[in-house]
Amino acid sequence: RAKDSGGNVHYSYEPALHAHAEERRRLEFALRRALDSNEFSLVFQPVVDATSEAVTNFEALLRWNSPALGPVSPAKFIPLAEDTRLIVPIGEWVLHQACIAATHWPEHIRIAVNVSGEQLLDQSFAATVVSALSASGLAPQRLELEVTESVFLRDGNQARAALEQAMALGCKIALDDFGTGYSSLGYLRKLRFSTIKVDRSFVQGAATGNAESLAIIRAVVAMADSLEMSTTAEGAETEKEVEIIRQLGCRKIQGYYFGRPMAAHDAEALFRSRHYLSKQTAA
Ligand code: C2E
Ligand code: MG
Ligand code: MG
Ligand code: MG
């Protein structure tokens, strides 16, 4: 910190640091306008039953196409939206749109929506869920909120209370990216998650014969089964990965192998396709 040291100290990395701060500033400037300018959209990725391959739910994934910056990856703008708390209004929009989309699907199909810690810590979270459900008319049982372990880090009790309010409405809760965070089994005891989502890194590891990945998935599946929670393997891209996941007993699979995130009208069309209907009968 040049300021703290008092003198005219010059650091060689300053230009790079400056460029980074400048990029972030531009991103934030654009992000602040994105919601009002209708630059967001949702895509939907199918999750299938591991045995029947029938679609059981879709995960809503946020997309941002900025006129100034082009398409920006969620990996880039979600952390910034969280830091600036813009995720609160953005997340409200996501919840509303996702619930509306799901009303066009068969009644047994759920919608999963990602929720950040900042949203859970906001006083209006429960009211936002109620409003998204009532505005769309979606049954609460069809809405599953996906949270990562990180939401419990800052104010675990408040985050848990917010999730319990959603559960009291009838919503389901999924634990996302399991195994990548500060996995604490304490959360599994305190909250009745419907689903544990096993992170893609374990799926990849298992398919390449990594003994640790195999052992961890096996243990997570056994634990979820005895806790009466479902398991979803994330990011299955190849037939080999799908085979391994099946052998390990994961109940559901999500990944490019079965379907990429798609526009709402393509998700709807899927339910009218003969392929879907035949898988459905097999379920
Ligand atoms: P996530 O919730 O774990 O979502 C799964 C991510 O894995 C998505 O990336 C999805 O496109 C990607 N994926 C799915 N199948 C495959 C596969 O077979 N191979 C590979 N390589 N990737 C696959 P995406 O859409 O870029 O989203 C990244 C993350 O951004 C999400 O991870 C989630 O944490 C966050 N995110 C996305 N939408 C929202 C949102 O509406 N609200 C919040 N708070 N976070 C969101
Ligand atoms: Mg997710
Ligand atoms: Mg995930
Ligand atoms: Mg993941």
Query: What confidence score (pLDDT) does residue 17 get?
Result: 76
Q: What would the pLDDT profile of 112-154 be if each residue is shown by its tens digit?
A: 999 999 999 999 999 999 999 999 999 999 999 999 999 998 8
Instruction: With cut-offs at 50, 70 and 90, classify the pLDDT of residue 212.
Output: very high
pLDDT exceeds 70 at position 283: no
Tokens of 257: 């192998």
Residue 117 CB–ligand 1 contact under 6 Å: no
Q: CB within 5 A of ion ligand 4: which residues? A: 177, 199, 234
CB 82 within 8 A of CB 153: no
280 pLDDT higher than 70 = no
Q: What is the average per-residue pLDDT within 215-229?
A: 96
224 pLDDT above the threshold of 70? yes
**Alpha helices, H only, 54-196:** 74-83, 87-102, 117-121, 125-136, 156-169, 185-190
C-alpha of residue 232 to centroid of ligand 3, in Å = 10
**pLDDT at residue 3 greater than cutoff 50:** no
Segment 7-48, tens digit of pLDDT: 566 656 677 778 889 999 999 999 999 999 999 999 999 999
Range 270-273, long-range pairs (CB < 8 A, 24+ positions)? 270/46, 270/55, 271/55, 271/105, 271/106, 271/109
CA dist 62 and 59 (Å) reads: 10
* Its pTM surpasses 0.95: no
Residue nearest atom 45 of ligand 1, based on CA coordinates: 114
Alpha carbon of 24 to ligand 2 centroid (Å)? 24
pLDDT at residue number 13: 63
**Strand, helix or coil at 172?**
strand
pLDDT number for residue 11: 59
CA-nearest residue, atom 27 of ligand 1: 74
Ligand 1 centroid to residue 61 C-alpha, Å: 6
Given a cut of 80, is residue 281 above it in pLDDT?
Answer: no
